[in-house]
Amino acid sequence: AQSVTQLGSHVSVSEGALVLLRCNYSSSVPPYLFWYVQYPNQGLQLLLKYTTGATLVKGINGFEAEFKKSETSFHLTKPSAHMSDAAEYFCAVKAAGNKLTFGGGTRVLVKP
Amino acid sequence: KAGVTQTPRYLIKTRGQQVTLSCSPISGHRSVSWYQQTPGQGLQFLFEYFSETQRNKGNFPGRFSGRQFSNSRSEMNVSTLELGDSALYLCASSPSASGEPTDTQYFGPGTRLTVL
């Protein structure tokens, strides 16, 4: 079975500051990892995913994440926060099949 | 390409009633999955359909059911509604026939169900 833990249900950052959202996973098989973003009253939008190959993955809107097997982590970063980054972010894992297992989510507040 | 569409967007029902939610996947996508999102339990997988067959199922009671039609459109049904069924129900589609874990799932805007 697989599970995902997102450290911090709420994160507050200043506009222009680094955004760092933490995700740790547990999986009995090599995992496939995803980050999704959810804006108010909307569905989930894929930011990026790790399947195989390069461990540093670049996504949309300037986000990137690094897969670290030794730390079972897949943290999401963005060098400079923008007001439009205010949203809820979900880390998810798939081990087999098409079932996503999600973390609890991290809500990001961006202060001007 | 049009995205995943879900209807209706909002729904209010009373306890004991039943409800049917609809999902139209992205054109050409044959896999449709359903998720429930609540403040307390977060995002939880309900089931996945491919070629009109349920391919995977989450840990929900039998009151939750679904089906898929030959055009890949999917419906989910909840019978004998309970207050705890109030949630955002999200549908996602993916293009792969094999259901590989590398597949990306594309989500619709959801249907917000309120049970009174």
pLDDT per position as a tens digit, A48-62: 999 888 889 999 999
A-B contacts (CB, under 8 Å): 66
pLDDT at B24: 98
Q: B15 to chain A, minimum CA–CA distance in Å?
A: 24
Q: What pLDDT, on a 0 to 100 scale, did the predictor assign at position B99?
A: 66
DSSP B59-91: S--TTEEEEE-TTS-EEEEE-S--GGG-EEEEE
SS (H, E, C) A43-108: CEEEEEEECCCCCEEECHHHCEEEEECCCCEEEEEECCCCHHHCEEEEEEEECCCCCCEECCCEEE
**Which residues in chain B are contacts of A46 at CB distance < 8 A?**
104-106
The pLDDT of B17-28, averaged and rounded, is 97
Q: Chain A closest CA to B25's CA: distance in Å?
A: 14
**B63-72 pLDDT, tens per residue?**
999 999 999 9
Three-state SS for A24-45 is EEECCCCCEEEEEEECCCCCEE
- Residue A28: what pLDDT? 73
Is B95 in CB contact (< 8 Å) with chain A? no
The pLDDT tens digits for B30-74 are: 999 999 999 999 999 999 999 899 988 999 999 999 999 999 999
Tell whether A102 is within 8 A of chain B (Cβ).
Answer: yes
Residue A97 and residue B48: Cβ atoms within 8 Å? yes
